[in-house]
Amino acid sequence: MNNSSQDNNCRINNQCNNNQDNNKDNQQNNNQDNNNQDRLTKQIKFIEEIDKEKLIGRQTYLSDASRKENDAEHAWHMAIMAVLLSEYSNEKIDVLKTITMLLIHDIVEIDAGDTYAYDEEGKKTQRQRELAAADRIFGLLPDDQAEYMRGLWDEFEERKTPEAKFARTLDNIQPAMLNNASGGRSWEEKGVHLSQILKRNKNTKDGSEALWDYAYNNFISPNVKKGKIKDD
């Protein structure tokens, strides 16, 4: 074979190899685009789904007592509280992790509904309802984010880490603050006893002794004296 023929064969082979490489690259890019599109679609579906949290009513009135708050407002309020009050945590916390935990902690109520703090009958099935809801709702996300968000929700429920303990403190302090601001209206309407409040808050100090002391002295005790909370 002369040199010219060899050069032509080399050019043809190189061209074929380049075409094959380009085809592989294009296929990989297409696969990556499809994966990205699928991931984004799942994320958007989750974001759309959790908008329903705005429809879940709670028993706590807004500070002006004009209406009761919803779950989304409750979560937002506590996220701000975490930013401002993290210095009062008993232990050093990751603030962003705590905020994320608070923002998602009641998402399960989209399916499970809000269980009133002193609804003893409702509490019997609360855990079962919320676990099923967590499986469905967090399962809408891409696998890595589903695992992370579900892990945070489980961590909040278990209240073992500094972040979970502080988040649970805020979850108990916030409604007490609003109850006080609205003139003790919800406590009075529900006929709540001091013993019920103390039982519910037996672990509140674990996240922040300072915040629990403040809440008891400024939100709870004055309403006992006013008769809004039944003293037993």
- The domain segmentation of the chain, as residue ranges, is 56-225
pLDDT at 10: 60
pLDDT reading at 104 higher than 70: yes
Average pLDDT, the chain: 93
For a pLDDT cut of 70, what percent of the chain falls above it? 90
- The 10s digit of each residue's pLDDT in 205-232 is 999 999 999 999 999 999 999 999 999 8
Confidence of residue 136 (pLDDT cuts 50, 70, 90): very high
C-alpha neighbours within 13 Å on the C-beta side of residue 70: 10
User: If you average pLDDT over residues 123-135, what whole number do you get?
Assistant: 95
Give the pLDDT confidence score for residue 26 in this predicted structure.
72
Q: What average pLDDT does this structure show over 181-204?
A: 97
Residue 84 in this model has a pLDDT that exceeds 80: yes
Tell me: the pLDDT tens digits for 62-83? 999 999 999 999 999 999 999 9
The class of domain 56-225 in CATH terms is mainly alpha
CA distance 38 to 138: 16
Give CA–CA dist 163/229, Å, rounded: 30
Average pLDDT over residues 87-108: 98
Q: Give CA–CA dist 219/212, Å, rounded.
A: 10
Strands (E), the chain: 57-61, 68-70
Is pLDDT of 6 > 70?
no
Residue 27 pLDDT class (50, 70, 90 cuts): confident
